[in-house]
Structure 1
Amino acid sequence: MSLTAATRAETTKLFSTSIWWILALVLFAYVAVTAAALAFIYAAAATGSLPGDAPPLPEEGLAATLYSTATTIGYVFPLLVGTLMVTAEFRHKTLTPTFLATPRRGRVLVAKLAVAALIGVVLGVIGVLAAVGTSAALLAGFGLDTTLTEPDTWAMLGRMLLASVLWTLIGVGIGALVRNQVGAIVGVLVFTQFIEPIGRTAAAFVEGLSDATRFLPGAASDALVGASVYSVGMPQTGAGSELDWWVGGLVLLGYAVVFVVLGHLVSWRRDVS
């Protein structure tokens, strides 16, 4: 089977199941609700509308920070979709007929990566629409600038789509490396929702720790995008703690390459059943 035919088969596999659109709906709802809540609080703080003696929040960079919630908190969804694209096939043994039809397993993996890039763009667009739609509406309601007419904002949105694609590719690599579906999903959730957030929060208060945590995948993703809700209200532990956007992109790409290569060498070539 040619690469084109293998890619077409992998596309059919993904879009004929319900998991991708279920996670897409959850992604939209999760990002929209979170972005709306943060936009209300931040916009109220920026306009001095919060009760009590709450400190004012500068308006500069506020829109970008709110828009970045699509990747800062939403990246776990393309990561999970990429992981499930592979682990579901190991779990249900559907890779057996696939490898019988396409004995060159590397070609199957490349086809999966191509489809993962496609769904990564789809999920990225969904996340961007959820974050920008709710945030911009609330910012405009408070009389604040949405920055949607600025080229830098649209460049950032483009980098958010790239981040979504890279996260999906990382998910495919993790799925190829960790065959057990439950183990892979639990590992992804524990790292993305607990280990890295705790490490990055600690780095804001412990001098020198950010030199290591800035190379974590979530931090690299935020650097690629150029904004993050993690930066709001956090003390700075020293200049140069954040990567340049292109360096963040290369680090995130590096994670994808490492996981895919390890998955191919360690697990992908083993017997399925």
Structure 2
Amino acid sequence: MTYYQQQAYPPAGAPKVKLFAPTLPKAELRKFTTTSVWWGLLIPTVLLALGWSWIATSFVSFITDQVVEGTRSLGVSANIPDLPFASFALARAINISTIFPIVLGGLAMANEVQRRTMTTSYLTAPSRVSVLTAKFGFYAVVGAAYGVVIVGISSLGIWLGSVTGGHTQFLPSAGVWLGIAGAGILSTMLWTLLGVGVGALLGNVIATTLVLLLYTLLAENLLNLAVVRIGDHVPGFLINQSGSGIVSSIAADDLTARITDLPPRLSEGMTEVMRFAAGAGGTYSWWIEAIIFLVWTLIFAGLGWFVAQRRDVS
């Protein structure tokens, strides 16, 4: 007997109890805020974003100073061009920090399935479709919010690294920063939804966490070595590379576009080097990578949705 049948036909003599039935988005918000997972993952996200961006920018400034000093000792004057090298640190920091929103999305569904709290949601809601729609919609907002935090903290890191290193000319222009920021928020949101899909597909906290971490941190790096033999741009179609390429391609393309006085072959070589340094080796333009990664997100979200719709909740 379902929840609605129980309410329509209560047992004889049962006291009338007025139940508070919050809307599904409010229910998702309560599930989210009443656990420590969201802030437990937010803390290392902030620390990683700030630390990586700050240290990477400071390192670039340090290397620049060493090159200038070394050439001066040889009696040669070296002029380091005012290129936005800090964009690389910003893009890398954003991509690396998305690992925590990915896990957050995976746990959002897997934890409820494993603990069977999803059963209550299914029985008290109009349909499973409404529950899943609310879940994916809510975590799209959560992913975007994490993206805002990651972009903001990473931007603070590159600014601190540039200021303390004395090379503020390495900071990206306002237009490029806005492009990287928007791409970072989009990427984080899609990664979070992909995590929700994987969590719905596997339905187990440990399995979901291991699969997400092992693939993003290890498996695809090994896969890159194999597929790059097929073609230089094949890695751009992989999950991790396409997700990272959304952000990194903007930084790489901006930097290479500023190098206009090189021969075509050398310019192409520099482009590949810049893309590799930005973590976008073998990828395409940001909007192409966004489409590719959106397809991957829809695939895993669709598979998770399909399995969740048919999973036994008894």
CA-CA distance at 1:51 after TM superposition:
8.9
What is the percentage of aligned positions where both structures have the same residue?
26
1:25-174 pair list within 5 angstroms: 25-48=43-66, 60-144=83-167, 145-147=169-171, 149-174=173-198
Matched residue, 2:233: 211
Matched residue, 2:303: 262
Matched residue, 2:206: 182
Aligned residues: 264
| 8 Å Cα contact 1:140-1:146 kept in structure 2 | no
Higher helix share: 2
| 8 Å Cα contact 2:50-2:157 kept in structure 1 | yes
Where relative contact order (Cα < 8 A, 6+ residues apart) is larger, the structure is 1
Unaligned stretches of 5+ in structure 2? 5-21, 72-78, 253-273
Matched residue, 2:260: none
- Once the two structures are superposed, residues 140-182 of structure 1 have per-residue CA deviations (whole angstroms, 9 ceiling, x without a partner) of 2323225455212112111111111111110111111111111
1:238-253 pair list within 5 angstroms: 241-253=282-294
Aligned equivalents of 1:256, 1:91: Cα separation in 2: 23
Structure 1 counterpart of 2:194, which letter? I
Aligned equivalents of 1:172, 1:195: Cα separation in 2: 20
| 8 Å Cα contact 2:109-2:200 kept in structure 1 | yes
Moved more, 180-189 or 146-155: 146-155
Structure 1 residue ranges (4+ consecutive) displaced by more than 4 angstroms after TM superposition:
49-53, 56-59
Structure 1 counterpart of 2:242, which letter? A
TM-score by length of 1: 0.86
State which structure, 1 or 2, has the greater radius of gyration over its C-alpha atoms: 2
Aligned equivalents of 1:170, 1:164: Cα separation in 2: 10
